[in-house]
Structure 1
C-alpha cells in the first residue's frame, strides 16, 4: 500500500510539472518552480563516479518511470563520453565544464551549457528574435534546409518532438523577450522553461 501511495504522489508531482509548460500566459514562474521541484527529487540519485562520469544510483522504480529517467541516463551517456574523451569535467557539485580555458557550466550567450539535468542557454534580444524565427522554421519543417541545428540543444529525443513543441517554445521566447533577452532551459524529457533576462 505504501508503494502505491508513493507512486501516486510521484505521478501527481510529475503531471503538476508538465501542465504549466503548456499553459498560456506571459509568466513562467510556475513552470520554473515545478522544474526545480522535480530536479530536487531526482538529484539525490545522481552520483559522480570515481572515473568522473555521472550515473543514477538507487532510484525507486516509480520515480524512474514517472520521470522518464531512461532519457536522463541517455543524456548522461552523452556527457560521459565527452568526459572520457577529455572534453568535459564534472566537479563534486555536479557542475560540468569544458576542459581548457572556458567555463562552460554556466549558461552563456552563443552556446548551450551542459548540466546534469539538461541544457541551458542565454539569448540577448536579437539572438532571442533570431532563435524564435529558427524555432518557427523548425516547426514548419524548414530547419533541415536552413541548417540551424546548432540553435537547438543536443538533448536526447529533441529531434523527435512535434512541430507544436517548436511553435510553443517560439511563443514562450517571444512572450518572455522584453527587449533584454531570455534564458532557455531544457530538461532530459524536453520540458523547457523560458525566463526573461
Structure 2
C-alpha cells in the first residue's frame, strides 16, 4: 500500500475534499471517516490530515486564523518588506495560506530570482546525485529526483514570467502550477 508521500496528487485531486473540511473551534477539521466511506483514497486523506496538523499548529501559535468559510487570515505580515524596484513588473506577495496549500505572486524580478535559486538548488542536488553514484552510494536517487523537481519548477516559472511575474499555486502534495500575472 502506498502512503501519501509515495503518491502524486495535484490540486484537482485535493479540491474535491472541500466538502469534508470545516473549521471547528478555530481549527481545521477533516471528516476523515465520511470521506473514506465515500471512496476517497486513504493516501489523499492522510496527506490532507497531515497538512491540517501543520496549519492547526500555526493557528495555535497565533500565526494564522481559520475562518468558517475555510479562508485563512495571515496574522503576520506576508507582504515583501522592501519596495519593488520600478524596473520590476507585476505584484509581489509572499505565500498566502489556503486549506489546500499556498498561493504566491512574484513580480518579474522575484520570478527571475526564484528561477535562479531553483536552478542553483537543482544543480547542487544533481551534483550530489553524481557524487553519490560515483562512489556507489544508493541514496543518490533522492537528490537526483530533487534536481529534476527544482529544474521543472524553474522552467515553468521562467516560461510563464513573460516580463510581468507569475502567480503560483503549490499544494501540500508539492503539486504546483504557474501562470502569468
Which residue is 2:28 aligned to? Answer: 54
Once superposed, which parts of structure 1, at least 4 consecutive aligned residues long, lie more than 6 Å away?
none
Matching residue of 1:21: none
Q: Deviations over 1:40-68 (max 9, x none)?
A: 41111111112x111210212642336x2
- As a proportion of its length, which structure holds more strand? 2
**Cα distance in 2 for residues equivalent to 1:125 and 1:38:** 30
- In the TM superposition, what whole-angstrom CA distance separates every residue of 1:10-62 from its partner, at most 9, and x where no partner exists? xxxx98x75xxxxxxxxxxxxxxxx3x43441111111112x11121021264
Which structure 1 segments of 5+ residues have no match? 1-13, 19-34, 143-158
Contact 1:49 1:55 in 2 (8 A): yes
Q: Is the alpha carbon distance of 1:103 and 1:173 closer, same or farther for their aligned partners in structure 2, counting shifts above 3 Å?
A: closer
Q: Is the counterpart of residue 182 in structure 1 residue 158 in structure 2?
A: no
Deviations 1:77-117 (A, max 9, x none): 111011112221111111111237x588xxx7241111100
Q: Any unmatched runs of 5+ in structure 2? A: 1-6, 80-90, 126-142
1:135 counterpart SS class: helix
Between the aligned partners of 1:45 and 1:111, the Cα distance in structure 2 is 28
What SS class does the counterpart of residue 63 from structure 1 fall into?
coil
Where 1:193 maps in the other structure, the secondary structure is strand
Q: Do residues 42 (structure 1) and 17 (structure 2) align?
A: yes
How many residues are matched? 144
TM-score normalised by structure 1 residue count: 0.64
Measure, in 2, the Cα distance between the counterparts of 1:132 and 1:164. 13
Give the 3-state SS of the residue equivalent to 2:168 in structure 1: strand
Larger radius of gyration: 2
Aligned to 1:153: none
Whole-angstrom CA distance in 1 between matches of 2:105 and 2:46: 27
Q: Does 1:140 align with 2:123?
A: yes
1:72-91 correspondence to structure 2 within 5 Å: 72-91=48-67
- Cα distance in 2 for partners of 1:169, 1:103 equals 22
In the alignment, what sits opposite 2:175?
A: 191
